[in-house]
Chains A and B, each alone.
Chain A
């Protein structure tokens, strides 16, 4: 499934406690160009709601969410 969207940057956020996944993705998304995609891996179940809320707040777009065992993968397009 993840082959369908090409990520320009992959961020390993596994094992990080709240709110670090959101803190890290907020900084990491600024390291790619507008229009590029970040693939973020989190094991924090709260990410399933935190990331969509963060994306709405920051103006970025979650293209896809995948679950692979304990790992949740977000494909986020920088749009802001």
Chain B
């Protein structure tokens, strides 16, 4: 079962293109959408939400077609973004009054509980909230509409580590119900190193991979060793490689093969998602 199904999505801009992206977001899991800034993550999300119309391709969310069933779909998705789109001059209470009637399943009790938990005063104006508080508020709204799918666009950028931890706990709470799904777009991959189930990696408008996170972390390996081990054939085995005066550090996407090739002459390290993103995004040889 897929919460989101993108098929051959294409959108061309003068400077950049989302190129034939097909992506499944599995129901019941957290999928992390990663990639450097400005490679198409936001465009993809905006297409899912119907803000941007794709040139071609199809979008299915929770089994329904976008944009045909847009209204039904949006009843069931909660959106948390680092851009706050609420009216700045309104208080939290007024904003809630504005938003709540749109949702059939709005849960007032839940909303008040989250306000308390997040220490948000209903009398505060949106413009007086810090960035973290704005995210908390939009999270409270999303969770109170009883959404089955949370779409989070860079929710943790600009947040302090304490609250980022809190969010991860909250997300795990939501995932106790296996009919819920989360798509979490971010360039801060440390959040996802822990909790994500799937990782979808977007680079330069294309989907590089969408796989189980554990498998990604096991498949890739960081190889460190003496530059003398490298020749042009061996360099080709690396997804990305960084050579300096004191040796090389590269990433391979097939750890087993690399272990056979290098044996004990090099050191193998588990990569972080950040390293996978770094080496893949840079590609080829990186000169330091």
Question: Do chains A and B interact in one complex?
Answer: no
Interface residue ranges, B against A (CB under 8 Å)? none
Chain A residues packing against B (C-beta within 8 Å):
none
